Amino acid sequence: MSNLFRTIAAAIFGPARTRKVPQSPRRVHLGLEVLEGRTLPSVSPILSVAVQTPIVQMAHQPVVVDVPNLQGYSFHLISSNGKPAHDLVIQRETYNVDGSASFTGTWSGDGPNSKAINGTLKFDANGNIVLSFSWTNGSGGQNNFSGTLTRVNTSPITASAYSGRYYLEGDVMSSTGGGPGHISGYSQAPLPLVKANF
């Protein structure tokens, strides 16, 4: 009779008034795979969702811009105070890690012999190319030059064939007090090498 009463009550009052049977919680069953005769637990999609990919943060490398390659260039520099013109020849240039370069070459104009020089090319804080070098004068002291290098020819044809043209302006400081003082002039790029087959 109690079953009949429950059936009638369920029909009249709806499913909310009936007795609820507790359901057992669902469990994920372990899947097994057979690989080469061994039974191994499989990777469950539930477990793969729980694994998170580690975030890898790349270290930012600074952008290094190299100074121009002036190996083989020569500069004819005119003094603003009427002293004889001088010639600078950059014979060899070596790049440094920071984008600057070291160079060797010759300096001539104040005597019969040219002087060996050592110098650097680098960018200053404003982005200008600074060229500086030094040499030993005839009295055994050090003379120094420091100036700014500016590219004046950006023609694609000339740049590809002759590597561009530069204007150099700066000051010579002599330990003896002489020298050409303020000087400036244009570069002469090295001519491109052409290989001839005979």
For the chain, 198 residues long, give each residue's pLDDT as a single digit of tens. 667 667 776 666 665 555 566 666 666 666 666 666 666 565 555 544 444 555 555 666 666 678 899 999 999 999 998 888 999 999 999 999 988 999 999 999 877 789 999 999 999 999 899 999 999 887 788 899 999 999 886 555 544 444 578 999 999 988 777 777 899 999 988 876 666 666
8 A C-beta contact, residue 73 and residue 121: no
Residue 16, φ and ψ in degrees, nearest 5? -70, -25
Task: Give the span between the Cα atoms of 81 and 182, in whole angstroms.
Answer: 7
Query: What does the domain layout of the chain look like in residue ranges?
Result: 74-188
